[in-house]
Amino acid sequence: MRIFLYLAISFVLLDQFIISTILPNITLFDVGILFYVLYILTIRRPITNKRIFIPIKIAGTLYFLSLFVYNTYLFIINKIEIMSFFYIIKEMEYFLLFFLLVNSYYYIKKYSLNLLFVLVVINVLYAYIEMVKGGISFYGIGALVTGSPEPSASIYLMIVFVLAFLELNKIKPVFFFIIICSFPVIATVSRINIVSLIFIIFIIVITKLYNNGFSIKKKNAIINLSMFVLIIILFLSFTQTQYAEVLSERIYKLDNAVENRSDKWANEYELYSFDNIEDYLFGKGKGIPEQIKQDSTLGVDSQYLRSFIEMGVMGSFLHLLLLITTISVLWKNSKYKAFILTIVIVFSLKSITIEALQVTRPAISFWGLAGLQMGYIINKRYNK
């Protein structure tokens, strides 16, 4: 039933931008994915049954099956707790988000994009209100749905990503809106996300220049606009404004941050005893950092380290295989390869300092952006 698809995308988008937790350990995102599962069970031929999705489904099946089998074994021998399966289910939900975005783009494109646009406007207005009010701390402004530093920056960066996708695919002329939505990313004073933002805008400019044959008129307009963005970023970085002071302070402490982060990674690794070859090959189990620390925070501060600790070499390989397979399918079928390359580079960079691909809002951003791009590809191919 199509109503389940409307409800699914509504709950997922509301979770990302307005409100998330509704009950302890239950979010609107969870409810949205449940509605999507109901949709899959009640529709006869979803668009995601096409052959193009087979490699992604096979890689996903191998990855999640391996997680369930090995973690069930660890649970039976009392090395992990039942909550470990919560993290596996969460990852499955993020993976299902990819297919939800494909289906919603194909079947209810107008509704999906209109709702997304409304929620983006609400969040950008909120960000500007916070900036005007001076709602800034050492970590910058927050977002409507969360006050946490990195997730807030990831939300605003995702907005820029989505608008870049719309711009490059010529769905709407939103380039100036991209610039407007860039300032909230800067106001979070998240260093890795500001670097990612600059990289995204650079790719947009180069792509637009290339697609327009580097015509003088187009080139001058884009270069001028890019210079405007650069000037604003430099102004915020080096003038004596409240945001500049906070951002400058964090930039000046970059060396200390790198040293502190590397020390933390070493301490995190030493916290988990790798006693035998089994630990190195298959890991200590999903959610083991939270279990050992008796804390709900992620705390490892690196996707690469967390993957190795939880899943070992084999699990990390299967996870990488799933990501590479998904990106390969996108790359093969999209003419906007620069956009896909940008996603890969940005999330690879973010994964150095946070768990950007598992159990976090950035992970939702990754699978959401991939699903949005695939939805566009499928819509153009089968719904002409």
- 269-326 residue pLDDT tens: 776 777 788 888 898 889 888 887 776 665 677 888 889 889 999 999 999 999 999 9
Give the model's pLDDT for residue 240.
42
More confident residue, 301 or 160: 160
Confidence of residue 106 (pLDDT cuts 50, 70, 90): very high
Confidence of residue 74 (pLDDT cuts 50, 70, 90): very high
From residue 218, how far is each of 166, 186, 224, 225, 267 by CA, in Å? 18, 27, 10, 11, 52
Give the model's pLDDT for residue 233.
59
Range with the largest mean pLDDT of 130-144, 189-203, 292-306: 189-203
Range with the largest mean pLDDT of 15-24, 111-120, 150-159: 111-120
- Report d(CA 114, CA 125) in Å as an integer: 17
Does residue 71 sit in helix, strand or coil? helix
Give the model's pLDDT for residue 97.
96
Q: What is the mean pLDDT of residues 200-225?
A: 62
pLDDT beyond 50 at 239: no
Confidence of residue 201 (pLDDT cuts 50, 70, 90): confident
Give the model's pLDDT for residue 25.
76
Give the model's pLDDT for residue 238.
47
- Report d(CA 233, CA 251) in Å as an integer: 13
Instruction: Record the pTM.
Output: 0.85
Q: What is the mean pLDDT of residues 2-28?
A: 90
Rounded to the nearest integer, the mean pLDDT of the chain is 81
Here the tokens at position 70 are 């090995």
Give the model's pLDDT for residue 273.
74
Give the model's pLDDT for residue 332.
92
Q: Where are the alpha helices (DSSP H) in the chain?
A: 2-17, 28-42, 54-76, 84-107, 109-133, 149-168, 175-187, 191-211, 216-238, 242-252, 254-271, 277-282, 288-293, 303-333, 337-353, 361-382
- Report d(CA 116, CA 109) in Å as an integer: 11
Confidence of residue 223 (pLDDT cuts 50, 70, 90): low
Give the model's pLDDT for residue 226.
62
Give the model's pLDDT for residue 34.
95
pLDDT beyond 90 at 32: yes
With a pLDDT cut of 90, the percent of the chain lying above it is 32
- Report d(CA 98, CA 103) in Å as an integer: 9
Q: What is the DSSP letter of 45?
A: S
Q: What are phi and psi of 108, to 5 degrees?
A: -130, 50
